[in-house]
Structure 1
Amino acid sequence: MSQFNVIVPFPEDADYLKQAAEVPGTRKPGQTGHYQCTAYPFLTLQSPGTFTNLLEIWEEGLRCSEGGPLFGHRPLISKDPIKYAPYYEWESWPSVDVRRRAIGSAFYRLFKNGELGGGQLNTVGIWSRNIPEWQIIDLGLQAYSLVGVSLYDTLGKDSVEYIINHAETSVVCATSDHIPFLLKLAPHVPILKMVICMDDIPEQAFSVLKAWGNEKGVRVLPLHELQEMGAADLVEPIKPTPNQLATICYTSGTTGNPKGALLTHGNLANAVHAQLHAYSLNDDRCAISYLPLAHIYERVMALCNMAVGGRIGFSTGDPLRLLEDMQALRPTFVAAVPRVLNRIYQAAMVAAQAPGPKGWLFRKAAEAKLQQLHATGIRTHPIWDRLVFNKIAAVLGGKVQMMACGSAPISITAMDFLRISLGCDILEGYGMTENGGSCTHVWPRDPTSSGTVGPPIPNMELKLVDVPAMGYTAEDKPNPRGEICCRGDGCFIGYYKDENNTKATIDEDGWVHTGDVGEFDGCGRLKIVDRVKNIMKLAQGEYVAVEYIENVYSSCPLVAQLFVHGDSLQSYLLAIVVPDPVPLSALVSRLYGKTVASDDAKALQEAVQDPQVNAAVLAELTKQAQAAQLKGFEMIKRIYVTMEPFTVDNGCLTPTFKMRRKETYTKYKEELDALYENPLPPTSSKL
C-alpha cells in the first residue's frame, strides 16, 4: 500500500466554465487577485500524501513497477549505412536500481575523499544526448545529495566553459564525442578533474583519450569502472530534505551568459505531483524520450512516468528517425512541442486538399469530428477514425492516449485538428525552468481549450500585474491582462551566484515574474498574448511586439520558421521566412503550372528567389495577418525567403529553440537592409 496519492483522477463534476477562480481578498491596485485551480485543493509540500523529494519518487516508481522494464533503446545493427533494429531492448527497474546506487556511491566517495570537489557545491555535469545512462547517472546523484548540472548537447564552446567554471563542476559525464572538446578546454576550466565516458568505445580509442587526459591533468574513466568502484563500496542512499538542492538548470538566454536556475528536491517533487493530477493512462505507461533531458520540460515529464512505475524508450537522437522510433516503441504518452506537431498537421492538410473522393472524404470526416469536439469534447469517432484518422494516429505508433504540449505557441486550427486526428488528450500547457516547467495546462476533454494554455495546475497560483507601457491592465475588458506572475512550491529558489537577476525575477512576496503577458478568459483559462520585452517602436511612433507578430504569422501552414524585423527609422516591418517544403511545393507547382516536388531542394531554392514566388508567399502571410486582425503597422510588408532553416548551429536559435534576435539580424543584415532600400510599397501608405 502506497503512502502517496500518486495519480489524482480528474473530478467528474469539474466546472469547465470556472476552471480557475480568484482567491477572495487578494486583489490589489494594479493587479488581479490570486488565481487558483478549482478542480483540486491547492497542493503544497505539506499536503497529505504528496512527494517531498526525488528519492520518494524513485522508491514509489520501483514499488509500482513490480520489476518491469524501465529504460529502453533501439540497438544499432549497422554503422555503414546506419541502421537501427525495429524494436527496443529494455533494462529493468531492479537493474537500474543497482546501477544508480553503484554510480551514486562512487561519486559520494570521490567527493568525500577530496578527489572531486573544491567548489561551493558538489556538482556533477552531464553532457550527452538522451540515452539511458543520462537518467541513471542523474538518479544516482539524486540519491546521494549531489547536484546535477546539465550541459546542452548543442551549446557552443563559450557556454560550456562558462557553466563548468560558474558551477565549479569538477567532474563531467559525457559521451565520447564530447570528450576531446572537454580535454581541449581543460586549461580554461581548472576546476575540472575528471571526465566519465558514458558510452562504450573501442579500447584503443579510449586509451588515446585516457593518455590525452593524463597530459591535461584530467582523469578519464569509463562509466563501467566508476560503477564497479561504487559497487565494491556501497553507501546507503541519503534521504534529502525538500530544501536540498537537486540541480542547477542553466537557461539559455537570448543574450549574454546562461543563468543557473536553482531547483530543489521539493521544487521538482512538487511539480511532478502537480502534473500527475489528471494523468490518466492505462497499465501500459510508456513514454518516448526525445526532447533534451537538459531541459526541465523533458526531465519533469520523465519523472512523472517514473513516479507511476512506467517505462521510457529513448529515441535514436536523429530527428529524421523520430517517427520511426515512435512506430517501433508505440508509446502511450508523448511530451510534444509544436515544431513536431505542426509537421503532422501540415502533412495532413496536403491530404485534405487532395482532389476527388479521397479529399472530399477527408474534409467531411474532419468537419464532422470538429463539430463533435466543440460540442462535447469527445475526440474519437467509430466510423471516421477507422476510415480516415487511424492512419494519422499510426504515425506516432497508434497507441498514444495522452500528450503534453509546450515550449511554444501552436495555432487553434492546428490544435483542434490534432486532437481529432490523433484521438488523444493533448494537454497544452505553459511553464518555464523557473517553475519546474509546470505552471498551467488545459483540462482533459475541454471542448474549447484550443488557443489557451488552461488554468493553473494544483501547485501554482497566478496573478496578472499591469504593464502600463504596453497598455495591459488588470481592469481591461472583457478580460484582465498583465504580466504573468506565479507562486508555489514548484518555483525555483533563485539564480546561482546572481543576486541581481534573482531579485529582478522573485519579488519580496515570493512571486516569480515571468516576463510573459497573459489574459484570463471567462472560464479562468490563461492565454499567452505577448512578451514584456521584445517590443520596439516604428518611425511613426507605433509600438510593436515582434514575438506576438511572429506567433501570428507562424500559424500560416506555409511557414516553417519566421523572423520579424523592424527598424525605428522605418515605418513598416520585414521578415525572413523559411517555408515548409510541402505547402511551398504545392504553391510553386500552381504558379509554374508544373509539378515541383517537395524533396527537390534545388528547385525550391531557385523558386524562392523568384519575385513571383516571393509575392505569392507574402500574399499567404497577409491572409493570415488579416484573419488575426493585425493592425496595418503590425503587418509584414516585405519578406526575404530562404530554404536555410534557423538552427542552433548557425547561431539563430538558442538550445531551447528560442530566437536569438541579434544574431539572426546580423546573419541577414544585408538582405534586410536591401529590403528597406527599395521604395515603400504603394499599399503600405495606408497604415
Structure 2
Amino acid sequence: MASSQPYDKQSVAVPGTKRPGQTAHYRNGIWGLIDENTPGVLKTLDEIWDVGLKVGKNTPFLGERRVVSTNPLKFAPTYTWLTYGEVDTRRKYVGSALHSFFQSGELGGGEFPTVGIWAANRPEWQIVDIALQSYQKVSVSLYDTLGKDSVEYIIGHAHLTAIFSTSDHIPTLLKLAPKVPTLKMVVCIDAISSDAAKLLQEWSEAVGLTFKTFAEVEAYGKANPIEPIRAYPDLVASICYTSGTTNNPKGVVLRHKNLAVATHSNMYGLTLPDNACLLSYLPLAHIYERVCELCTIAIGGRIGYFTGDPLRLLEDAQALKPNFFPSVPRVLNRVYQAAMVAGNAPGLKGTIFKKAVQTKLDKLHATGEVTHALWDRLVFRKIQAVLGGNIQLCTSGSAPISIEVMDFLKIALACEVAEGHYGLTENCATTAKSWPLDSTASGTVGPAQPVNEIKLVDVPAMGYTSEDKPNPRGELCVRGVNCFTTYYKDEKNTKEAVDEEGWFHTGDVGEVDSVGRFKIIDRVKNIMKLAQGEYVALEKIENLYSSTPLIAQIFVHGDGLQSYIVAVIVPDPIQLAAIASPLLGKKISPEDTPALAAACKDERVVNHVMGVITKVAQQNGLKGFETVKRVYLSLVPFSIDNNTLTPTMKIRRKDAYSLYKAEIDALYALGEPSRL
C-alpha cells in the first residue's frame, strides 16, 4: 500500500450519526462501506471457490507432509500437493454422496442439513467444507478444547446426523451414540487398515450407526454424480459454536454472505504474490483461520497444513516456506523471546544485534518502512529463516499483543505484520485491521474494515464515555454484512448481543484515536480473553475458589497479554494461623496480625495455599487456563471503604487491580510455572 494513503484519516465519522451516549458511526477512510450490492463483491462461498479454481486449475492447492515412519514418527521433508482441479473433483464426489444420503432420508431431519467435521487441520477438512458449501449443506465444526460434554451438546443442538472425524475421535463418538439419537453416520477421514475398518463398522452397527471410510463416500459420489447446487447470499453456510464461558457453547448462525463478504473485505489492501502460500496450524474450527484460508482460495493460493505437532511447527515452516503466516500472540511471543535470547549474547555479537534493532526501529517509527539492505542481510535473515525465509504477511489475531513485540516482529521479519483482524465468530473475524506502513499502528487494531461500521457506546458503570478526552471510549459495537443476526435456538443471548438496528455489542471496551484507529482496552463483562485466545469468566472462577474455608476473599486477575491467571487472596485468619504454625515451627494465634502478615510473605505458606487451591480447581473440573497459577497473600480485605467493593459486595475489578498492581505485575514477572 503506497504511503500516499490518508494515514491521518483511517476511519472517518459519518456526518449526522452522532447521538447522545455514543460516538458517530466510523467507516473505512479509503474504501468507505461495502456490502453485498457493491459491484464485483463475492457474495457466496461457492463464488470464492469458482474464483480460486479459475485462477489455480492445475496449480497446487492443499499440501501436507506425509508420514514416512510411525515408529519413530517421521514426516517427509517436503510437502505433497493436491491441485485445485483434483480438489474440485473430490468435492463433487463428497458433495454428491452427501446430497444423495440427505435426499434418501438416510441423513437429515433437522431444521438445517447439518454435517459435522471433527478433525485437526488437514486437506480433507477443506475438501469436506468446500463440498458442503457447494451442495447447500451446513457445516458444524467440533474441536478438542470444547471437551466431551460440549461435543455431546453440539451434536444434539445442531441436529448432526453425519460427522466426518479422524480415527482418534471415533471411539468417543461411538460411546456417545446412546446419548445422541440424532447421529446416524460416522465417516473416518483417516486411511485405516481393513481390520480397523471392520472393527469400527461392527462397533458402529452395535450402537445403531452407519460407519463409512472417506474412500467409500467418495466412491459412492463418483458412481452417483450430482451437479453442484448454487448457493445464494442468505443461505446458511455454517453454525459455528463459540466456547461458552458460563454455560453451553453458543451456535453462531453464519450465512454465505456473512463469510463471503468478510473474506472480500479482508482482500482490500492485501498484498500477497500469485500462488501465495499459507501455513495452516491455527484450528480450522475457529473463524480466524477459516477466513484466512478463504482469502487464500480467493487468490488461487496454496495452503500447507502443519504436521499437527506444535513442536514441529518451525520444521513445517522451513519445509513449506510460506508467504502468509496467520498467527497468535502465544506463538509470536516465542519467536520474539528466542530472538532476544540470541541477541543478548555478550561481546560483539550482542552489540551488533542491538545496533541493528535500534537502527531499524528508528526507521520504522520515522517512515513505516521495515526493510534495511545491510541489517536484513547481516542479522535478520537468520530470524526470517526460522519461518522459512519467505514470509510477506504475518497477522496476529485472537488476543492482544504488546507494542514492543509487534514493532520487533515488523523489523525482524521485514514484512507486513498486521495486528487486527480484530473480530469474533459473530462477525466472521472481521471488524478492524491495521494498515501496512503505518509507523505508529502497533498497539491498535487499526481502522474499521471496508465491510464494517463501528461505534462506541458509553459504559457509565465503568467510567467510559464517548465524550472522554483525548479519545472517545465505550463498548465497541459493529454492524455490517459480515455480522451474524442470530444464535441458533437462543433468543435470550441473541437479544442481548444484537440490537434492533443490527448493531452487534461485542462486550469489549474500545477507544478510537485521533486518526480513527481502534484499541481494545477492557471488557464490559468480567469475561476476558487470555493470550492463547481462551475466554475465562473471572467471577465464576472466584466463586469456585471461594468455596474453600481458607479463602475469606479472592480477586482473580487475567491479563490479555498473558496465557494464565493470577489471584490476590485474603486468607481467613483462623485457617491461616492453623496452616502457618506447623510450617514455620512456632505457634501463631489468629489475633497476631504482624505474625500472620509475615507468614503471608513466607514461600512455604504461599506454596501450601497454592496446593490447596489447585486441589479445589481439580475437584471443580477447571480447565488448565482457568486455574490460578500464582497467588499473592494479603491481610488487607477488599472493602467499600477502600473502593474495591461495590455496595452489593461485588469486586470493583479496576480498583482492585490498581490497589495490587505492583504485586500482580511482580507475579507475572515470575512467568508461568511449568508444573504446579
* TM tier, smaller: 0.7 to 0.9
1:289 to 280, 293, 299: 280
Are 1:179 and 2:170 counterparts?
yes
| Structure 2: unaligned runs, 5 residues or longer | 528-537, 543-553, 573-600, 639-658, 664-676
The TM-score with structure 2 as length reference comes to 0.82
Distance 2:98 2:568 in 1: 51
2:202 to 200, 211, 218: 211
Q: Give 1:595's aligned residue.
A: none
Contact 1:42–1:458 (CA<8 Å) still a contact in 2?
A: yes
Equivalence map 1:275-674=2 (5 Å)? 275-429=266-420, 430-534=422-526, 546-547=557-558, 550-551=559-560, 554=562, 561-566=563-568, 659-660=625-626, 664-665=627-628, 672=631
Contact 1:248–1:261 (CA<8 Å) still a contact in 2?
A: yes
Distance 2:74 2:502 in 1: 51
SS at match of 1:490: coil
What amino acid maps onto 1:402 in structure 2?
A: L
Q: Give 1:13's aligned residue.
A: 4
Q: Give 1:628's aligned residue.
A: none
Distance 1:358 1:640 in 2: 42
Q: CA deviation at 1:18?
A: 1.2
Q: Give 2:670's aligned residue.
A: none
Q: 1:252 to 1:332 in 2, by over 3 A?
A: same
SS at match of 1:437: coil
Q: Deviations over 1:295-340 (max 9, x none)?
A: 0000010000001101100000100000100000000011010000
SS at match of 1:449: coil
Q: 1:457 to 1:685 in 2, by over 3 A?
A: closer
Q: CA deviation at 1:13?
A: 3.0
Q: CA deviation at 1:684?
A: 7.2
Q: CA deviation at 1:431?
A: 0.6
Q: Deviations over 1:62-90 (max 9, x none)?
A: 00114101000001111111111110000
What amino acid maps onto 2:42 in structure 1?
A: F
Are 1:675 and 2:667 counterparts?
no
2:260 to 269, 286, 289: 269
Q: CA deviation at 1:234?
A: 1.2
Q: CA deviation at 1:551?
A: 3.3
Q: Deviations over 1:102-158 (max 9, x none)?
A: 101111110011000111111000000011000100100000110000001333110
Q: CA deviation at 1:568?
A: 8.8
Contact 1:379–1:420 (CA<8 Å) still a contact in 2?
A: yes
Q: 1:224 to 1:484 in 2, by over 3 A?
A: same
What amino acid maps onto 2:229 in structure 1?
A: I
Q: Deviations over 1:574-604 (max 9, x none)?
A: xxxxxxxxxxxxxxxxxxxxxxxxxxxxxxx
What amino acid maps onto 1:450 in structure 2?
A: S
Distance 1:272 1:685 in 2: 41
Q: Give 1:33's aligned residue.
A: 24
Q: 1:105 to 1:507 in 2, by over 3 A?
A: same
Distance 1:477 1:453 in 2: 20
Distance 2:133 2:403 in 1: 39
Q: CA deviation at 1:350?
A: 1.2
Q: CA deviation at 1:12?
A: 5.4
Distance 1:375 1:160 in 2: 51
Q: Give 2:228's aligned residue.
A: 237
Distance 1:686 1:384 in 2: 38
Contact 2:274–2:300 (CA<8 Å) still a contact in 1?
A: no
Q: CA deviation at 1:569?
A: 9.2
Q: CA deviation at 1:545?
A: 9.6
Q: 1:293 to 1:652 in 2, by over 3 A?
A: farther
Q: 1:677 to 1:474 in 2, by over 3 A?
A: closer
Q: Deviations over 1:535-568 (max 9, x none)?
A: 8899xxxx99944xx136x3xxxxxx33133569
What amino acid maps onto 1:433 in structure 2?
A: T
Distance 2:267 2:392 in 1: 15
Contact 2:569–2:634 (CA<8 Å) still a contact in 1?
A: no
Q: Give 2:144's aligned residue.
A: 153
Q: CA deviation at 1:652?
A: 5.6
Are 1:197 and 2:206 counterparts?
no
Distance 1:419 1:639 in 2: 42
Q: 1:137 to 1:18 in 2, by over 3 A?
A: same
In percent, how many aligned pairs have the same letter?
A: 53
Distance 1:416 1:614 in 2: 41
Q: CA deviation at 1:352?
A: 2.5
What amino acid maps onto 1:483 in structure 2?
A: E
What amino acid maps onto 2:564 in structure 1?
A: L
Q: Give 1:164's aligned residue.
A: 155
**May I ask how many residue pairs the two structures share in their alignment?**
588
Equivalence map 1:216-227=2 (5 Å)? 216-227=207-218
What is the RMSD of the two structures over their aligned residues, measured on CA atoms? Answer: 3.0
The TM-score with structure 1 as length reference comes to 0.81
Contact 1:45–1:489 (CA<8 Å) still a contact in 2?
A: yes
Distance 1:355 1:562 in 2: 32
Contact 1:298–1:335 (CA<8 Å) still a contact in 2?
A: yes
| Structure 1: unaligned runs, 5 residues or longer | 1-9, 555-560, 571-610, 619-637
Q: CA deviation at 1:41?
A: 3.0
